[in-house]
Amino acid sequence: MDEKLMKQIVEAVMQELMAQRSNASACTEGLDKLLVIGNLQAVPADVAEKYQIFLIDDYIQNKNIHRYQKILITSLTLVQMSDIAQGRDGSPEACAVINGLLNGLDVCMTEAAFPHRKYAGKSSSRLYEVIENNARMLQSFGIKLLKECKVGADPIPAKPPKYQAPPIEVPKGTGHTTTDRLITEDVARSLIDGGNTAICLAANAIVTPSAWDLFKQKGIEVIRK
């Protein structure tokens, strides 16, 4: 079977499956809607699981960019990329991306979506640079690469530090520091709880008479800093 025909059949089957999935009520009604610009097969599996996926035909039919919460670009032609870079809505794909950016939607792009980069180092350097400028322009508009955008990805927990100093235990009987400006009797009692024999107070802290009496009664050394 012709390879091109096989690809068309696979894409048609995938589109039908995704259409059925997006119309399923119980499982997908609560999911955000993702508009895919380009090749449906290039959508990562972890993204497909977390979004209702719609293709450009849905945008053409509804002409409402607010139907979607995110846009993912998986492939563009050179003309489409140039149109977006120049702000021209010359195709439905360019129109959807431009409207998405204007309305503040998250727009992401896979690395493979840049059609010219497979020719890096092979083509005319001047021509390549002109096309690459369009790619940079897209990113300057706020279109992020998928790995930066993290569409559908759960946050990665921070790794603990490789080396960590052991906790320092303060032995009882050493000074206890407080930054309170007014030391009342209740505050004084909280400071000497735990067997402290000395406390450190701010130089401008005000100590009430009852607090002073408590310190003297308990034999607490008061240090001003």
Q: What is the DSSP string of 158-189?
A: PPPPSS-PPPPPPPTTSEEE---SEE-HHHHH
Q: Identify whether 156 is part of a domain.
A: no
Q: Is the pLDDT of residue 224 over 90?
A: no
Number of domains within the chain: 2
**Which domain range does residue 26 map to?**
13-149
Higher pLDDT, 206 or 153: 206
Q: Identify whether 20 is part of a domain.
A: yes
Q: Identify whether 169 is part of a domain.
A: no
List the CATH number of the domain containing 85: 3.40.50
- Model pLDDT, residue 225: 74
Higher pLDDT, 198 or 19: 198
- Model pLDDT, residue 105: 92
Higher pLDDT, 96 or 31: 96
- Model pLDDT, residue 185: 87
Provide mean pLDDT across the span 36-54. Answer: 87
pTM of the model: 0.53
Q: Identify whether 165 is part of a domain.
A: no
**One domain for residues 36 and 130:** yes
Please list, residue by residue across 115-134, b when 16 or more beta carbons sit within 10 angstroms of its beta carbon and e when fewer do.
bbeeeeeeeeeeebeebeeb
**One domain for residues 190 and 113:** no
Residue where a domain terminates, one of 131, 149, 167: 149
pLDDT tens figures, 131-164: 889 888 888 898 988 775 654 445 556 666 655 5
pLDDT tens figures, 65-100: 999 999 999 988 889 999 999 999 889 999 999 999
Q: HSE (CB half, 13 Å, CA atoms) of 88?
A: 10
**One domain for residues 62 and 139:** yes
